[in-house]
Structure 1
Amino acid sequence: MNTTHQRQPKKTALITGAANGIGYELAYIFALNGYNLVLVDRMAEKLAEVANKFQDELGISVKAIVKDLSIKTSPEEIFTELQQEFIKVDVLVNNAGFGIHGLFNETNLNTELEMLQVNLVCLTHLTKLFLKDMVKQGEGKVLNLSSAAAFQPGPLMAVYFATKAYILSFSQALASELEGTGVTVTALCPGPTESAFHERTGIAGAKQVENNNMMDAATVAKIGYRALMEGKTVAIPGFKNRLLAEIVRFTPRNLVTKIVKNMQEIK
């Protein structure tokens, strides 16, 4: 009697901001664990390089989508393109995001509006689009990149800190709503991490960065991936960051704000 063993189809992870930093490291971990990938980034050349590397070295399928997530139509375009190609997303990783440093009354409004679009609106929009099918199928995972910045106000990066607080709150609320559905939501809240983020943001010379033993992006990604697979709602990499997140809950808000402002100042 001949018995045919059907191989289970590989699951697919969609990762935004996947060309470098934490997004790249998360993509690499998913690839090592046998996931096919949908990688989204605005840097076409770097994204193609990453996609080719993963396909050639790890034998998985990688679809690269070049999109500027600060454009409001991008989430719908990504979703529609994947639906047309019958690509089912099992894990959504909302990693893309950026910040800007400076006094709010002096920083560039257009840059901050783009930040809100990428950090908040796009994340919310993509989650809305892909979550419905996950719930319908009774399984799925969402990983949202928040930050240790989510736990306190951030003078000199006021908008960025506020976006990360939104992501944490949003993720915790969704995780509660989705209990019993087979779908989990995890907020990853790293502290300062070795990446190009600090140069782009303009805080490379800030006390917070220069006085901090930063965690590398690969370690942050491993912690985030493990928390996601375990269905944890919040993951804060590093003992110091976890401790600070607890301390600020019991510290007067005006004192916390003064301390953060001091740490954000450029030397």
Structure 2
Amino acid sequence: MSTRPFAVVTGGSNGIGLELARQFATNGYDLLIAAEDRVHLEEAARDLRSSGATVDIHAADLSREDAVAGLHGTLRGRAVDALCVNAGIGLGGPFLETDLQTELKMVDLNVRGAVQLTKLVLKDMVVRDAGKILLTSSIAGTMPDPFEAIYGGTKVFLRWFGEALRNELKDSGVTVTVLMPSLTETNFFKRADMMDTRAGPAPKDDPAIVAKAGFDALMAGKDKVIPTAKNKVMGAIADLLPDRAAAQIHRGLSEPGSADRKLDPTKPLAIGAAALGVGALLFAGWRRRPHLPAHLGGTSGSSTAKALHITLKARAGKEAEVESLLQGILDEVRHEVGTRPWFGLRRTESTFEIFETFPNEAAREAHLSGKGAALLMERSNAVLASPANIDRLDVLLTKHA
């Protein structure tokens, strides 16, 4: 029997799952990859074996209880060093119109199958006091997901299932990590019938980058990982927003027919870009500059009112241009919206601080209900349009007493 560590990856025939398997194969693991399509599994296995790994396949519909039990049975008692519960499907569209049987299968695969396989494999890990589990959730787990209501619900479940399980196992040698990718270049949107949505044709992350982030976090024993800097910012902002505002953001990405619509700045679709609106600047900027670092932190106080504080460091010689652009945007939006300016701008040499603060939750809600954030999203793109403008971004989420 091989002395190499052994990993099991479900949904391992394509997309993020295949790239996760590749990470294991190139880092000295043997593999069992599982998915429904045998042909795709065989193609993936041939590819993975080129790295020197022993790769077995298991073709089965893991939405079925007997199929999950069968997958576990193929292990024949072999110790699993790493389990990646990655198999999943999605479906877009209005809940009243989507196919019920597809949604029930989604729940069975994304949730029931994940729970069953995790429990079966985890018992042996705990006996050995060693093992690593990676659950693929989604950044969709940070917000309500209109037009993906069932899919989003399954990803919320996986997020908190993983976090809870990690806590239960904190005194053991077993770790649980939750992977929370954003839009990724896979077949997901085509299979979910979402190519007519804004999310369908939108720029997406490379699944290899997503998988490496997940693998690195798993090996480091981290609780969760949101791959890429722009997605860390997006997730942080989504957690900051009221649920109804975050739901409206997601609607703008997932509503059928939205791919052909232009943003209407009089509607609060874009409020999710920011609790202050300038967070939208990050969305456009990170898409253009994915290599920039983002350092996320936070402090807590006694109040429920929250604020977003962004620090930008301009590149040498670009300070005046950045300051002019930022100040012009803020002044324009203040003038057009005609509300109290809950946000401001400070400069210290080449560093710029964009900040917001609300005296209470009611003031924050009132600001978000207006069109200021939408206007800021629409008009702040110019700040980061040039790849030479910004050297560094720091984002701090705070609660204010």
Separation (CA, whole Å) in 1 of partners of 2:192 and 2:47: 28
Offset, 1:132:
0.8
Partner of 1:12: 6
Match of 1:71 among 61, 64, 77: 64
Measured after TM superposition, the shift of residue 180 of structure 1 is: 2.2
2:30 maps to 36
Letter in 2 for 1:229: M
Select which of 160, 167, 179 maps to 1:169: 160
CA distance in 2, matches of 1:62, 1:28: 11
| Partner residue in 2 for 1:50 | 44
Q: Compare 9-18 and 68-77 and name the one that shifted more.
A: 68-77
Structural mapping, 1:86-101, within 5 Å: 86-101=77-92
Displacement of 1:116: 0.4
- The residue type equivalent to 2:30 in the other structure is N
User: Which 10-residue stretch deviates more, 239-248 or 65-74?
Assistant: 239-248
Distance 1:163 1:137 in 2: 30
SS in 2 for 1:166: helix
Q: Secondary structure at the residue paired with 1:58?
A: coil
Per the alignment, residue 135 of structure 2 pairs with 144
Q: Which residue of the partner structure matches residue 117 of structure 1?
A: 108
Query: 5+ residue gaps in structure 2?
Result: 260-401
In structure 1, the residue matched to 2:239 is 249
Tell me the residue number matched to 2:374: none
* Cα distance between partner residues in 2 of 1:80 and 1:53: 25
Q: Which one is further off, 73-82 or 97-106?
A: 73-82
Unaligned runs of 5+ in 1: 1-6
After superposition, residues 160-239 of structure 1 pair within 5 angstroms as 160-210=151-201, 212-239=202-229
| Shift >4 Å, 4+ stretches | none
User: How many Å separate the matches in 2 of 1:89 and 1:65?
Assistant: 15
1:217, distance to aligned residue in structure 2 (A): 0.4
Q: Which amino acid aligns with 1:81?
A: T
Q: Which has the higher contact order (CA 8 A, sep 6+)?
A: 1
Report the alpha carbon displacement of residue 159 of structure 1 after superposing the two structures with TM: 0.3
Structure with bigger gyration radius: 2
SS for the counterpart of 2:154 is: helix
Greater share of residues in helix: 1
Most deviating of 216-225 and 249-258 = 249-258
AA at the equivalent of 1:232:
K
Match of 2:253 in 1: 263
RMSD between aligned residues? 1.4
| Count of residue pairs the alignment pairs up | 257
SS at match of 2:165: helix
